[in-house]
Amino acid sequence: MYSRKKLKSALESMMFVWGEPLSVNDGATVLETDRKEVRELLRELKNEYEQEGRGIRIREINDSFQFVTLKDNEQFIEKLCRPVKVKRLSQAALEVLAIIAYRQPVTRGEIDTIRGIKSERVIDGLMNRKMVEVCGKSDGIGRPNLYGTTDEFLKTFGFESLKDLPDIEGFKIKSVADEETDEEDEDYIGQIEMHFDSDENDEEGEEIDEN
């Protein structure tokens, strides 16, 4: 039986090589131990990196763990990686993503009704980026697809789980149909101005997933 120190060392190497989030289940299978112990070891590693003020941190995403860089070092990483172009989500894509995140599981028809405009192309773009997936079928007429967010969505926006989504009251919510009159309805999620990394005027960014 390996010591806890050896097991943590092994998990550290596995996360580094794997690149993608390492699931507790995969870690337990490789180490031939139970999931509870692997989860505890990974969380111990996570705390150690934080306590030591390391430039690399461990992020937990739906019972999976992944190496990430410290957000405070973002400016240095940007200087190193320039002039790499970053593809950014358009406002339409952020709008649809927000509706799906807060209303999931949700049908395309429900998304269209909320936005007041067809969203098929935007949804396809989000699915291509693996941020949205079909998570079931509705019981309604025709049994349309139900959409939900993925672990890639959590990873992209730095959430450990959907419980970390900001309070909806922190966003400006505006009905597309009433945009000109600026009428607001707290029960109606229409055009949502998200405080995510969308910068349509960024010279180094490319807007994608346009409606």
| Cβ 165 vs Cβ 103: under 8 Å | no
* Per-residue pLDDT tens digits for 170-197: 444 443 433 433 333 333 333 333 444 4
pTM as predicted: 0.55
User: For residues 64 and 18, what is the distance between their CA atoms, to the nearest angstrom?
Assistant: 12
In sequence order, what are the beta bridge partners of 66? 59
Residues of the chain with pLDDT under 70: 83-87, 169-211
* Per-residue pLDDT tens digits for 42-75: 999 999 999 999 999 999 999 999 999 998 998 8
HEC letters along 47-79:
HHHHHCCCCEEEEEECCEEEEEECHHHHHHHHH
Torsion (CA) 36, 136, 96, 184 in degrees, nearest 10:
-100
Residue 115: exposure state from Cβ atoms within 10 A (0-12, 13-18, ≥19): buried
